[in-house]
Structure formats: structure tokens, C-alpha cells
Structure 1
Amino acid sequence: MNGIHEGWFSEIQDDLWPGQCFSLKVKKILHEEKSKYQDIKIVETETFGTCLILDGIIQCTSRDEMSYQEMISFLPMCCHPEPRKVLIVGGGDGGVAREVVKHPDVEEVHQVEIDDRVVDLSKQYLPNMACGFEHPKLRLTIGDGFEYMKQHKNEFDVIITDSSDPIGPAVSLFQESYYELMKNALRKGGIVSSQGGSYWLDQDYIKKTMNGCKQHFAQVAYAVTSVPSYPSGNIGFVIGSLDTSRSLRDEPARKFTNKEIDKMGLKYYSTAMHKAAFTLPRYIEKHFYES
């Protein structure tokens, strides 16, 4: 699978995003290989820095990765009043781990990534993200997240699923049975956050994912962030909570001052951004919550 032609990488996925593509000018191909699970490319681009590509789909670029990593991590953690123990499923580039360990309440972070080659290559080519693997709070397991959660019930306050899109090895992470598995691995009042796709591209699929989450969680909400290198320029997160005492769409349970935000080194997330992330265009809000 080679999406590079005449110096440009083009992300063409007709099954997921028919009729469109996003292209980046490539300065240099840093690495290419086929791992046990997926095609891996790492390229240096003209304007977006280093880019990780899995099965022809952009996973992150060094220019805009913080908006995704910070929001998928801090949205659920700040919805929880005391996120002591966190599980990350996926996230082989290390970006989510880098963010989760910053939260002052977090004591333990466990991560399960199925493809060790993504981890190794991220350490080599994306050190500003993979630094998350070096933190003493983190324990990394190379393996299957499904099997891991089956063996760790009622253990976690927050579970974050940092997956690629619903094709290939990540397809099962968008199904209703996966939310049941996460629920069983959570403590009382636990919260989950999963990559949920863009409402510009497939509203019905997102609603289906939310409905699957609703089968097992008392509250379900959809939040968005801006990521220019992703299709349509934004992406959302499906967030589920077992806690019925506060709405996910209200003020966060944990608020940080700007001084605290700066001390943690956050570039995108803030308490104001947290609240804004749950504000959707009216027609999307009606589709997700009223229809």
C-alpha cells in the first residue's frame, strides 16, 4: 500500500470518506514496513512535520497532534472527580500516555497496545509523543486490549481508547460489545472515552456508536476537537459515564486554572475548551440527542 505519488501522500479511503482525499507534501520517507497487524509509514512532510500513517490513514502529525491527544485524555479525566487509575487501549504513538500522566490525581496508568512495532517506531521517530512511555506512572503491555480487560474487572476510573478508524485491527473497538467490556473493567462512577469520528462525515455511524455505548452507560455524550490533518478537519469522542449525579455536558468535575494548565504543558485543552467541546451545531445536537 503506497499512497505517495510524485512527492505527495494522499489519504484516499472510499469506504470511510467517499469522494474526498487529503494530501500532504512529503519531504522524505523516514520508514516503511508491514507489521504483523498493519502497514506502517512514517514521513517527514513539508508543513505538518513528522506524520505517522497506518494502513493509509494519517494517525498524527507533529504539527497538530496535541489537540487530539489532550482532548481525548483530559475530557474524560476532568469529567471524573478523582481519576486515580487510568487504562489506555491503543495509543501506540505514546501521545495519550504523555497527557494522562500529567493529571495530578492520576496515580497509575496502564496501557495495552497490540502492535509493538508502532511503539518502537514512535520512540525512534516521534520522541516528543513517545516520551509518555518513559514516565514512572505508566505500565505498558503489548497485547490484546479485549483480553486484558477480561482479566482486569472493576479496576479503573477512566478508560481511554485511542484507536485508528473502524477498519482493520480497530474495527471491534467501535462495537457495542466493546462498551460492555469497558464497563466491566471500570470502578463505580467510571468514565470511558473513545475516538468517535467526525459528524461531517458519518452522523449515522456516530449515533450507532453512541447507542451502543448507551446500552451500558448511564450517560453518553459526544465532544469535538479540531485536527486539521484529519478528514474534514475535526474529530469527535464518544464519552460514557456510569455516574448519574452530574451531566457530562455540564461544567467539568475538575477545573484547572490557566496557571495550572501552563504548568502541565497543555497547549489545547483548558476548562473553557472542555465546556465548548460538547457544544454542537443545532442539527447535529438534534440528531444525536433528540431523534
Structure 2
Amino acid sequence: MELWFTEKQTSNFGITAKIKHTLVDEQTDFQHLSIVDTLEFGRMLVLDGMVMTTVKDEFVYHEMVTHPALVTHPNPKHVLVVGGGDGGAIREVLKHPEVEKAVLVEIDGKVIEYSKTYLPEIAGSLEEPRVEVIVNDGFMHIHENKNTYDVIMVDSTEPVGPAVDLFSKGFYQGIYDALKEDGIFVAQTDNPWFKADLITQVNKDVKEIFPIVNVYQANIPTYPSGMWTFTMGSKVHDPLQVDKKTIKEMDTKYYCADLHHAAFALPKFVQDLIK
């Protein structure tokens, strides 16, 4: 008998993957958590029926949620990742030697625990000395730490369950206050095919708070539609003004100096969403 996992991305469309084994299937205090081993993408973390990451393609998301902002900021010493309990964003943050401290705030400790066990390729940097892991509400952490961080990354699930508040204007204002005077933040903002209204609303909210706002994209095959957007808000530094020659080579598979500016070139229909 064949076993398949299907993520219903809308009521009429989904993606499916053939499964070898189910490694974890548990209702945590916050969400339903599964880790399955698929034939096509390897081990896959699923939260509330949505694919969060897979061993095969995780590098795209984790590199793109981190490096564009870290390259744009001239001296990102203190970095916060909200969510991201799988540890992939933290792994990428640590590739920047100027980062002195990387803080991970994840509301669901089970995500961290199972990622360390079943996704060591992704979570392997969570024990590094520059990392502080906090199991708590990222929304509250933001509001309790004013003028603290150089760069903040919101590595959240889609806006359901425990992540709903992480797409609110109040949260973005809290991020602004938690950043230092030249701080930058970036958040994953879903895809323009199925969540066009979300991208429009987030862009509008962030523009009312941050003077410099840019949207960029990446191709992530296991995410709805494969086309994924990120929204960056900055107090001072413009990612489009980064000199390509200053971008140092890193151990990456997707992000590179040539891609930095190219990622901000959006198809016309996406440009229309954020006018």
C-alpha cells in the first residue's frame, strides 16, 4: 500500500508527496506537528498540515530569509529570529562572522526538540555558543526588548494558529521599536498566487511604519505555488543600494552576489499588489 501526504493549499488545489515513514505525529500545546520521510524531498516538517521545510529544498528559504538583510546592514551584531524552531535561519545567520549574538524565540519547544532529533542538517547550529534559544511568545519578546536588535527575521508559519499575531500591524510596530536606530527586519510573506491580499496588506502596514520597504522573491518547490515572497523593512539601509562587489562569498547554495539585486525584480502582477 502506498502512503501519500497532501497539503491542501486551497480548497481546490494541493501538492502531494509519497511517504516512506512517519517519524513524528503529535498534537503539541500549539499545533499539530508531523515529521515524515518522503521519497522526493527527504524528511519533511509539517505544522497544521502545512509544509514548513524539507531536507532537499530548505536551503532556499533559510538563505533568503536571512542573507539579504544581513548583507544590507553594515554591522549586524545582534540578530533575532522569531519562530524558526527548525534552526535553519540561525544556521545561516551564523555564517556572518560580525554577528555576536543570535537569539531564537520559538513558541513551540516541540519544534526545536524534534528538529534537533530528526533534522540535524537544519538544526545543528542551535547549540553554538553565539546562539541563545528562548521558548516563548515572539510577539511578547518583541514588545519587551526595545532598541535591542540590529536585524530581526520573522520566520513564521502562515497566518493561522499561533502565528496570527505575527502578521499584524501592531507586531510590525513592535519590531520597529525593538530595532536599533539603523535596524532592518524581514518577514516571509507567503505567495502571490493564493495569498495576494495578504501581501498587499502586509506591504501597506509595513510602509506606514518603515521608511524603506522592499519585497523580494525566491523559488521554493515545496511551498504553495513555488513562488515565495519576503518583505523587508529598513530604517536607514536600502538593499537596492548594496554594492555587489562588497558581498562576500559564503557557503550557500541559492543566495549569491548576483542574486541579491535580482531577487527584488518582481513580475508585473506582484508589483501591482504592492503599489
Distance 1:227 1:33 in 2: 26
- Once the 2 structures are TM-superposed, how far is the Cα of residue 247 of structure 1 from its aligned partner? 3.1
- Once the 2 structures are TM-superposed, how far is the Cα of residue 6 of structure 1 from its aligned partner? 4.7
Contact 2:102–2:131 (Cα < 8 Å) also in 1? yes
- Once the 2 structures are TM-superposed, how far is the Cα of residue 18 of structure 1 from its aligned partner? 3.8
Q: 1:166 to 1:268 in 2, by over 3 A?
A: same
Distance 1:47 1:72 in 2: 24
Across the aligned residues of Structure 1 and Structure 2, the Cα RMSD in angstroms comes to 1.5
Contact 2:153–2:186 (Cα < 8 Å) also in 1? yes
1:36-56 CA distance string (max 9 Å, x none): 000000000011000000000
Instruction: Tell me what 1:281 maps to.
Output: 267
Distance 1:250 1:228 in 2: 29
Q: Which aligned pairs between 1:28-177 and structure 2 lie closer than 5 A?
A: 28-177=21-170
Instruction: Tell me what 1:192 maps to.
Output: 185
Q: 1:128 to 1:33 in 2, by over 3 A?
A: same
SS of equivalent to 2:122: helix
Determine whether 1:248 maps to 2:239: yes
SS of equivalent to 1:249: helix
Q: Which runs of 5+ in 2 are unaligned?
A: none
Distance 2:47 2:245 in 1: 34
1:207-264 CA distance string (max 9 Å, x none): 1011111121111111111100111012111110011xx533343588334xx32xxx
Q: 1:214 to 1:253 in 2, by over 3 A?
A: farther
Instruction: Tell me what 1:225 maps to.
Output: 218
1:96-155 CA distance string (max 9 Å, x none): 010001112211111111100000000000001111201111001110112212221101
Distance 1:222 1:10 in 2: 29
Q: Which runs of 5+ in 1 are unaligned?
A: none
Distance 1:233 1:11 in 2: 13
Q: TM-score, normalised by structure 1?
A: 0.91
Contact 1:78–1:252 (Cα < 8 Å) also in 2? no
Distance 2:238 2:152 in 1: 18
Distance 1:218 1:253 in 2: 23
SS of equivalent to 2:189: strand
Instruction: Tell me what 1:23 maps to.
Output: 16
Distance 1:190 1:286 in 2: 27
Deviates further, 36-45 or 148-157: 148-157
Distance 1:196 1:114 in 2: 19
1:54-94 CA distance string (max 9 Å, x none): 00000000000000000101011111111111011000000
Distance 2:209 2:68 in 1: 20
SS of equivalent to 2:194: coil
Q: 1:79 to 1:253 in 2, by over 3 A?
A: farther
**Alignment length (residue pairs):** 275
